[in-house]
Amino acid sequence: MARTTRTLLLRPTPGSRPADLFDKILQFRAKNPNDRQFPFEIGNSGILVEQVDENTVVLLSNGFSEMLDPYSDPPLERYTDEDHMSTNGDAGKDESRVWKTTRVYEVIGNPGHPRLVQFRGRDPWTALPILQKPAATLAGFLDEHRASMYAYAAGDDTEAEPSGSEKHNGNARLYLKLNPAYRPLIFQWALQLLSALGFIHARNVILGDLHVHTCWLSAPDFSISILGFLDAVYMEPMHGTRYTNESTWGSEYNFPFHPRLIPGRGTGPGGRWDRDVATAKTDLFLWAALVFELLTGCWPAGDRNLEDVKGILARGLWPRLGEGGLDGILGKCWDLGYADADEVKRDLVLVVEGEGWEVGGVQGDEIRGLDGARILRD
């Protein structure tokens, strides 16, 4: 049986220098003093995205980001292999997560998949992952365009349990409604995310966490890609160690509607969820929650307290959109009923095509004729 561990350590490449990466970052900052996009944190993960040059970014733990302090002691050029975090005992959970991202990308291999953020290689000294720079993050896109995407409108009480996207105006119950112009774009994102999940699951990798902060967008078509693999579950082929999702299960306090809280179900011993290890069904559960958020403007049961959400999960009274086909797909994901991402994708294609759009493209996840930039212009 494979060993399971929660930490991963990567060492510098012989002859490499820490100053090489950090000098590039500092030089880019100096040349672009008005660029305020970077650095930014991935949600509240403690992991920063820092720009290296015009085309690439790097994921930094707080420990590594402290090296960007120009007054660091000792100066960067005086660091040696013996000062590396994996050597001096300073490496912690965050360092392990960014190193895991490097290793999973390497295990998957290049060119990877177009619905994964593209991996440009590891930095030789830090072993941190160098990635293709995004045009935008999904979280940033939603913040910027929320006013045009969603508006409160009257609706009937069709939900088994309220979604968290409603409010009251006197006696009237109002719901956040999606601007129909964005609907095909969200369907395309949903299909593209399933393409990515199907690809990594086929390679025995579990993403472990999926939300708006781990999705990036490309220009000019606003295609979506997943930022992996901070919370991945995978087997390290070099020595047969199984690495698990160190921080995923803390997310239930930020997103209480989470599969960890489903009692008596799952794939662990005795039919219960393994509290340490995410599965493919975890990824599909969270995919459904993310799609629900995109269609309604709110994570499922977003305004409920933890005990209320536990009750919803225990009874299987899933939030509903009032749309039979989509409700069936999301509910089946939340019931842990799908075998794999490809099965979900087949069902979703039927819903999308039933609404009059044609699905095509090399990956079978593009809506023909969709112009994301035009949606924003209009």
Which pLDDT value is given to residue 375?
Answer: 79
Check whether residue 120 and residue 60 sit in a common domain: yes
Of 84-88, 151-155, 169-173, 198-202, which gets the smallest average pLDDT? Answer: 169-173
Residues 90 and 62 in one domain: yes
**What's residue 305's pLDDT?**
83
| Per-residue pLDDT, 274 | 53
For a pLDDT cut of 70, what percent of the chain falls above it? 78
- Are 106 and 154 in a shared domain? no
Q: How far apart are the first and last CA of the chain?
A: 57
* Of the candidate ranges 97-101, 158-162, 199-203, the one whose mean pLDDT is the lowest: 158-162
129 and 147, same domain (yes or no)? no
Task: Show the DSSP H helices in 76-182 as ranges.
Answer: 85-88, 93-108, 138-149
Q: Counting beta carbons within 10 angstroms of the beta carbon of residue 261, is it exposed (0 to 12), middle (13 to 18) or buried (19 or more)?
A: middle
Residue numbers of the domain that contains 218: 137-377
pLDDT reported for residue 81: 54
Task: Give strand pairing partners of 234.
Answer: 243
Nearest alpha carbon to residue 293 among 317, 257, 332, 329: 257
E strands, 170-294, are: 172-178, 215-217, 224-226, 234-236, 241-243
Count CA atoms within 13 Å of residue 178 on its CB side. Answer: 18
Neighbouring-strand partners of residue 64: none
- 146 and 110 together in one domain: no
- Are 68 and 106 in the same domain? yes
Q: How many residues does the chain have?
A: 378
Question: 84 with 185, same domain?
Answer: no
Task: Read off the pLDDT of residues 5-38 as tens digits, 9 standing for 90 and up.
Answer: 556 767 777 777 777 888 888 888 888 877 767 7
Per-residue pLDDT, averaged over 205-228, amounts to: 92
Total of domains in the chain = 2
216/362 same-domain check: yes
Is 228 within 8 Å of 104 (Cβ atoms)? yes
Strands of the sheet containing 215-217, edge to edge, are 136-137, 215-217, 224-226
- 361 residue type, one letter: G
My answer on whether 109 and 217 are in the same domain is no
Domain co-membership, 143 together with 185: yes
pLDDT tens figures, 173-183:
556 789 999 99
Q: How far apart are CA 378 and CA 236, in angstroms?
A: 48
Residues 6+ apart with CB under 8 A from 251: 209, 211, 258
Spatial distance between the Cα atoms of 252 and 122, rounded to a whole number of angstroms? 31
- Three-point CA angle 161, 180, 298, nearest 5°: 35
Tokens of residue 337, six digits: 């009923």
State which of 111, 133, 155 marks the end of a domain: 133
Q: Are residues 371 and 293 in the same domain?
A: yes
Give the end of a domain, one of 69, 101, 133. 133
Short-list 60, 127, 51, CA closest to 94: 60
CATH number of the domain at 331, please. 1.10.510.10
For the entire predicted model, the pTM comes to: 0.87
Please check whether residues 289 and 247 belong to one and the same domain: yes
Last-in-domain residue among 133, 166, 182: 133
State the pLDDT confidence band at 170, using cuts at 50, 70 and 90. Answer: very low
Q: Report the DSSP beta bridge partners of residue 59.
A: 49
Residue 206 to residue 283: CA distance in whole angstroms: 7
Instruction: Give the DSSP letter of residue 13.
Output: P
Signed CA dihedral, 151, 298, 197, 108: sign only: positive
Q: Across residues 219-233, what is the average pLDDT? A: 90
Of 137-146, 220-229, 274-283, 317-326, least confident by mean pLDDT is 274-283
- How far, in Å, CA of 134 to CA of 206, rounded? 22
